Amino acid sequence: MPVEPGLSASVALTVAMADTARAMGSGDVPVIGTPRVIALCEEAAVKAVNGSLDPGQTSVGMRIQLDHLAPTAIGHVVVAEAKLEKVEGRRLCFSVSVNDDRGLIAAGRVVRVVVERDRFLDKTL
């Protein structure tokens, strides 16, 4: 399956103490932290193209634009959804949203870049 606009995926998480702003060092309140919300959006984007990239390829994060709009307390479920909106060469542009049982808690865009895994890792040496 080629990487084409329209690919989508979602991931769910029951918010635990380890997911809170307090635990992540991004605040002092016991609600899901923005870094965890971002990670969920990235996870959904990766899942959306899983199986569509050529062997030896992967995607890496390049840009995240996210508005974290509402708090979600420990014990509640959040669902992140990513939809591939545009493919620009190696750039994959996703719209993302995160909802809990009360509605939208975050929305934005994620850009990932397709790379050759081995060549990319060689740059870390």
The per-residue pLDDT for 82 is 98
Please indicate whether residue 4 is annotated as part of the active site: no
Go through the domains of the chain in sequence order and give each one's CATH number: 8-122 (3.10.129.10)
Helix (H) or strand (E) holding 103: strand 103-116
Please indicate whether residue 34 is annotated as part of the active site: yes
pLDDT digits (tens, 9 = 90+) for 1-36: 579 999 999 999 999 999 999 999 999 999 999 999
pLDDT digits (tens, 9 = 90+) for 49-98: 999 999 999 999 999 999 999 999 999 999 999 999 999 999 999 999 99
pLDDT digits (tens, 9 = 90+) for 86-119: 999 999 999 999 999 999 999 999 999 999 999 9
Neighbour tally for 63: CB within 10 Å: 12
The per-residue pLDDT for 1 is 59
Three-state secondary-structure class, residue 67 = strand
The per-residue pLDDT for 2 is 76
Q: Evaluate whether 96 touches 43 at the Cβ level (below 8 Å).
A: no
CA atoms within 13 A on the CB side of 20: 14
Catalytic residue among 4, 14, 20, 42: 42
Please indicate whether residue 76 is annotated as part of the active site: no
The per-residue pLDDT for 50 is 94
Catalytic residue among 4, 14, 20, 34: 34
List, in order, residues 6 or more apart from 40 with CB less than 8 Å away.
Answer: 11, 13, 78, 80, 98
* Dihedral, 97, 16, 27, 112 alpha carbons, nearest 10: -40
Using CA atoms, how far apart are residues 104 and 114, in angstroms rounded to an integer?
Answer: 29
Catalytic residue among 4, 14, 20, 68: 68
Stretch 34-43: mean pLDDT: 98
Using CA atoms, how far apart are residues 70 and 67, in angstroms rounded to an integer?
Answer: 9
